[in-house]
Amino acid sequence: MTVSIPFKAAVLVNSISALDDAFSAAFQECISSACPGAQVDFFDPIEAQIYPEPGQYDLIVLTGGTADAMAKDVHWVLKMQDFLRTTVEKCPTQKIVGICWGHQIIHVTFGGVVGPMDKFEVGVTPITLTSAGSSFFSSYLPSREEYKVHEFHEQEVKTPGKGFIALAEDNQSLVNATNTILTLQGHPEMSAELSKLLLGDTPQYKGVHAAAKEALEFKINSSHDGSAIWKRIIHWTGEV
């Protein structure tokens, strides 16, 4: 796939929230920082249900969200799966990145299973790379063994989609065998400020005692590899 000039990214915003504008701004900033001059267009698959035209963008990004990725009766979720299957069939070189919920819906679409975790994962978390992941990310990260990224989720991929290769342990990051779909459970676009805004509306943490809040604050404010991951994503977009 030849990358266009300017680089063009389509971002599917898979949530309806008061913070959607803040997250859209974060995606705009991260993609533009990794690829100066990039054109970033945003699409609403929930209410407007408008999708980008595959092949017209170098990269299609599926954001996080709160819907049940395993739902069988949510029209827009099923339509998202149809879009993914049709894109892979009719535009097999299209590069797609799924983040958090986007990561989960991709794996469900292609035969995987998503289910609840035993805890709510929040804050900057070290993610252990597999040997394939070390090769994939190593030139962009300070470590060949792990990357650090903001997490904010209570569902996880239990079984990956068919034909996906693990780049990180515990299904935290995978790429398909044809190198066209990359998924990450973590949020490379997220900042400490965004994480705190999300946490403010999270019932599980409203009554947390002072020591736990202090530990969580430290974790949220820790350094992470989000910028490096976005640079790798942009470079990967041009790979065959």
C-alpha span between 127 and 31 (Å, rounded): 22
Out of 103, 150, 153, 187, pick the active-site residue. Answer: 187
Using alpha carbons, select from 85, 157, 98, 165 the residue that is nearest to residue 133: 165
Give catalytic status of residue 151 as yes or no: no
Give catalytic status of residue 30 as yes or no: no
Give catalytic status of residue 189 as yes or no: yes
Using alpha carbons, select from 68, 62, 61 the residue that is nearest to residue 155: 68
Dig out the tokens for 221 from the structure. Answer: 């404010």
Dig out the tokens for 118 from the structure. Answer: 């035993």
Task: Please check whether residue 233 is in contact with residue 33, taking contact to mean a CB–CB distance below 8 angstroms.
Answer: no
Out of 146, 151, 156, 189, pick the active-site residue. Answer: 189
C-alpha span between 240 and 235 (Å, rounded): 11
Out of 100, 103, 153, 156, pick the active-site residue. Answer: 100
Catalytic residues: 100, 187, 189
